[in-house]
């Protein structure tokens, strides 16, 4: 016990001298992290105000999501894809789900615009890609109700416009008219 007491009395002055240095180093680290968080928040606010800010794939996940959402408002799906892929490597499933949802929405908006103009051929692949993004959003966050709803809308577009699902050729095969509903669980026999 006396050796412990004597070791403490010998090391105490050295610890007291090192303590201000350790506190200063901790304060510098905390200040640097705070400055970085404030810079990220400024960039996110600028992106939400629709000011263009370049964002790299190494940026913080929240900043990448803000850039993805800004690009989604502009329907710049090609620029969104590498940023969404960068979010996949992060441990942020909620942010990844929102990014996938935004990418799906941008593709679905473009497809709906093409459908309104009567251009069904280029709209089909966009709807299929939108459906894939909604499914991926649901894989990241299964309780994402908006993604479920939009997946249903995109799936109904394919069903309601069979021309969108056409694989080969310019003509559709004549199919017998479906009388019974496609709702799961409903009988297909006679009433």
How high is the pLDDT of residue 56?
A: 84
pTM of the predicted protein model = 0.68
How high is the pLDDT of residue 15?
A: 76
How high is the pLDDT of residue 143?
A: 93
How high is the pLDDT of residue 95?
A: 92
How high is the pLDDT of residue 32?
A: 77
Cα→Cα distances 19→4, 11, 15, 139, Å = 21, 12, 6, 49
Q: Rounded to the nearest 5°, which phi and psi values hold at 21?
A: -65, -45
How high is the pLDDT of residue 54?
A: 84
pLDDT in tens, the chain (191 residues): 678 888 877 887 777 777 788 888 888 888 877 777 777 778 888 878 888 888 888 888 888 899 999 999 988 889 999 999 999 888 889 999 999 999 999 999 999 999 899 888 888 899 999 999 999 999 999 999 999 999 999 988 877 665 555 544 444 454 555 544 455 555 555 55
41/49 Cα distance (integer angstroms): 12
How high is the pLDDT of residue 169?
A: 42
45/56 Cα distance (integer angstroms): 17
């Amino acid at each position: 016990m006396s050796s412990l007491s004597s070791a403490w009395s010998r090391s105490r002055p050295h610890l007291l001298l090192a303590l201000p240095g350790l506190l200063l180093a901790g304060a510098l680290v905390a200040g640097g992290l705070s400055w970085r968080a404030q810079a990220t928040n400024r960039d996110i606010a600028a992106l939400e105000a629709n000011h263009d800010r370049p964002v790299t794939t190494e940026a913080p996940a929240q900043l990448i999501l803000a850039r993805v959402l800004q690009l989604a408002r502009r329907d710049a799906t090609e620029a969104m894809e590498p940023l969404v892929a960068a979010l996949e490597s992060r441990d942020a499933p909620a942010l990844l789900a929102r990014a996938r949802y935004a990418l799906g929405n941008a593709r679905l908006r473009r497809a709906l615009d093409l459908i309104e103009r009567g251009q069904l051929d280029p709209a089909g692949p966009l709807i299929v890609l939108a459906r894939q993004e909604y499914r991926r959003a649901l894989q990241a966050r299964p309780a994402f109700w908006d993604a479920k709803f939009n997946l249903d809308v995109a799936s109904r577009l394919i069903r309601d416009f069979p021309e969108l699902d056409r694989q080969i050729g310019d003509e559709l095969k004549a199919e017998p008219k479906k009388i019974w509903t496609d709702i799961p669980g409903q009988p297909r026999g006679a009433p």
